[in-house]
Amino acid sequence: MAKLTTCIDLMDEGIDRVSQIIPTMPAVEARLCRLLLMVGEGIDQELAFKLKPYKLNHSEFLTLMILYSRPDGSSTPGELCEFATQGATNMTRIANALARRGLITRGASEADRRRVVIRITAAGRRFVKEMLPPMFPRIDTMFQSFSATDKRHLDRLLRKLAGNLDRLSEHSHP
Amino acid sequence: MAKLTTCIDLMDEGIDRVSQIIPTMPAVEARLCRLLLMVGEGIDQELAFKLKPYKLNHSEFLTLMILYSRPDGSSTPGELCEFATQGATNMTRIANALARRGLITRGASEADRRRVVIRITAAGRRFVKEMLPPMFPRIDTMFQSFSATDKRHLDRLLRKLAGNLDRLSEHSHP
DNA sequence: AGCGGATATTTCATCGGTGAAGTAAACATA
DNA sequence: TATGTTTACTTCACCGATGAAATATCCGCT
C-alpha cells in the first residue's frame, strides 16, 4: 500500500510540471483540490477498515447512524437518501441489507401508504453502541498534534468550501 | 440534489445527539472526519461533472494526468497503481480504455519483459491541453473568498492529517 | 543449466452504486 | 368521481472497482 505522503509529494511535482506547460492553471487551488481528494480517500479507507469486522459498508453505516441519531429512531427511504446523499436505488439495497440483519425494520406508513417507515431496532441500537467506541482511539490518532485552533480553522475552512461547492452545483446540475 | 450545507447542518445535530448518548465519543474530531468526507464527495462530484463531456472517469483522468506530468510521458501499470492509489486490476481496465481512444500506447519493456510500458501519445497531450483550461474557472470559484493565508492553512492542515493517516495505516494494514 | 520464490500483469467472479423504467398511491382539478 | 400529474419506492440492467487465481517472466542459489 502506497503511503499518502509519498503520493502527495509526487502530486506536488506533477502539478509543478503541468503548471509550467499550462501557466494559466490555478496551481495552488488545484493542489488543494487534489489534497482534499487524497485525504478524503485516506479517511474513507480508514473507515472501511474499521467497519470491515462488522461487515458494514460505508453507506450502510452512515444510514444506520442517521437512524440512531434521530430522536424517534425512524425515517423514510426518501429522507435517508437526502441526508446520506445516496440514490433511491441504493437506499433500497441498504435497507434490505440492514433489515436482513435485524438492525432495522420496514413498515408501511399509516398516513401515506406510498411511504415506507424505516426504524432502528433495539438490536440496531445495541449494535451501534458496541461498534462505535472501538473507533475512538483511531479517530483521536488522526488528529494528533492538532491544536484546538487547528481544528477550529479546519472546520471553518471546510464549511466555507462546502458553501462554495453548493453555489457551483446550483448553477450547473440543479 | 441535496445541498451540502444542509447535510452538514443535519450531521451537526446528529453528532450532538450521539455524543449525548455516548459521551466518550471524540465529537470534534468525528465531526471533522465527516466534514472532510462530505467535502471530498462534493469535489468528486464536481470533478465528475467536468469530466463527463470528455467521457472520462476520475481514475482515467488521474492516470492520464500522471502520464502527462512525467518528463518522458511514460510509466508502467505498477507504477501508475502506486501513484493513483489504484488496484492493478483496475489499472488494466483504465489502460484498455485510454488505449482504445488512442490517448496512450502500450508496449513491451525491453529491459524486463514482464513489464508493460505505457506512454501518452501526441493526441493524448493535445487532449489534456484542450480539456484542462475549461476547468479553471470552476476551480477558482471553489476557493472564492479564501485568502492566501486560508489556503496556506488548509494546505498545512491537510498534509498534517495525511501524515497521521499514514502512521495509522502502517500499524494496521501495512 | 535448472529449480524455487518473487514480481508484473491480466482474467474472472463478484460487489457496490447508478440511471431508466415500472408500480402504486396521493393529490389536484374539472 | 374521473383523470392527469406528482411523489415514493422498487426492479432491472449496466458500469466501475476489488480480491483471488492464472500466466509469464525474472532473479538468486545450487
What integer is the mean pLDDT of A105-115?
A: 93
| Chain center to CA of B12 | 26
Whether residue B59 is found in the same domain as residue B134 = yes
Strand C neighbours (CB under 7 Å) are A 57-59, 86-90, 93-94, 112-114; B 76-79, 88-89, 91-92, 95, 106, 109, 112, 114-116
Whether residue B65 is found in the same domain as residue B115 = yes
Per-residue pLDDT tens over the stretch B89-111? 999 999 999 999 999 999 999 88
Chain C bases near protein CB atoms (7 A cut-off): 7-13, 16-20, 24-27
Distance from A85 to chain B by nearest Cα, in Å? 7
d(CA B28, CA A140): 10
Is B166–A5 a contact, with Cβ atoms under 8 angstroms apart?
yes
What angle do helix axes B122-131 and B58-69 make, rounded to 10 degrees?
110
* Domain, as residue range, for A48: 7-54
Confidence of residue A170 (pLDDT cuts 50, 70, 90): confident
d(CA B129, CA A14): 15
Could you tell me where the DSSP H helices lie in B22-147?
27-51, 58-69, 77-84, 88-100, 122-131, 136-142
Instruction: Report chain A's C-alpha Rg in angstroms.
Output: 20
- Among A11, A25, A33, pick the best mutation site for testing chain B contact (most B Cβ within 10 A): A33
Is A159–B3 a contact, with Cβ atoms under 8 angstroms apart?
no
Whether residue A86 is found in the same domain as residue A123 = yes
Whether residue A80 is found in the same domain as residue A119 = yes
Q: If you average pLDDT over every residue of chain A, what do you get?
A: 96
3-state secondary structure of B70: coil
Q: Distance in angstroms, CA of B140 to C1' of D29?
A: 59
Is residue A150 included in any domain, yes or no? no
Rounded average pLDDT per 10-residue block, chain B, 174 residues: 92 98 98 98 96 96 98 96 97 98 95 94 98 97 97 98 94 69
Cβ atoms of B34 and B14 closer than 8 Å:
no
3-state secondary structure of B69: helix
What angle do helix axes A148-172 and B148-172 make, rounded to 10 degrees?
110
Is residue B161 included in any domain, yes or no? no
Whether residue B34 is found in the same domain as residue B62 = no
Q: Looking at the complex, does the CB of residue B111 fall below 8 Å from at least one CB of chain A? A: no
Whether residue A70 is found in the same domain as residue A100 = yes
Confidence of residue A172 (pLDDT cuts 50, 70, 90): confident
Q: Looking at the complex, does the CB of residue A143 fall below 8 Å from at least one CB of chain B? A: yes
Confidence (pLDDT) at A118: 98
Cβ atoms of A18 and B65 closer than 8 Å:
yes
What integer is the mean pLDDT of A27-40?
A: 98
Whether residue B68 is found in the same domain as residue B117 = yes
Confidence of residue A173 (pLDDT cuts 50, 70, 90): low
3-state secondary structure of B104: strand
Which contiguous run of DSSP H or E holds residue A92?
helix A88-100
Whether residue A73 is found in the same domain as residue A121 = yes
Strands lying side by side in the sheet with B104-108: B74-75, B116-120, B104-108
Distance from A112 to chain B by nearest Cα, in Å? 23
Q: Using CB atoms and an 8 Å cut-off, which of residues 6-45 of chain A contact chain B? A: 7-8, 10, 13-15, 17-18, 21-22, 24-26, 28-33, 35-45
3-state secondary structure of B118: strand
Per-residue pLDDT tens over the stretch B64-91? 999 999 999 999 999 999 999 999 999 9
Is residue A74 included in any domain, yes or no? yes
Whether residue B130 is found in the same domain as residue B66 = yes
Confidence (pLDDT) at B174: 59
Is residue B149 included in any domain, yes or no? no
Percent of chain A with pLDDT over 90: 94
Helix count and strand count (H, E) for chain B? 8, 3
3-state secondary structure of B106: strand
Cβ atoms of B87 and B64 closer than 8 Å:
no
Could you tell me the maximum CA-CA distance found in chain A, to the nearest angstrom? 64
Whether residue A48 is found in the same domain as residue A114 = no
Whether residue B47 is found in the same domain as residue B105 = no
Is residue B26 included in any domain, yes or no? yes
> Among the three residues B17, B38, B54, which one is the final residue of a domain in this structure?
B54
Is B160–A146 a contact, with Cβ atoms under 8 angstroms apart?
yes
Distance from A95 to chain B by nearest Cα, in Å? 20
Give me the residue label for grid cell 492566501. B148
Q: Which of A109, A119, A33 is nearest to A74 (CA)?
A: A119
Q: Looking at the complex, does the CB of residue A122 fall below 8 Å from at least one CB of chain B? A: no
Is residue B16 included in any domain, yes or no? yes
Give me the residue label for grid cell 432502528. A120
Distance from A132 to chain B by nearest Cα, in Å? 8
Q: Which of B148, B147, B29, B22 is nearest to A143 (CA)?
A: B29
Q: Which residues pair with A117 in a beta bridge?
A: A107
What's the structural domain count of chain B?
Answer: 2
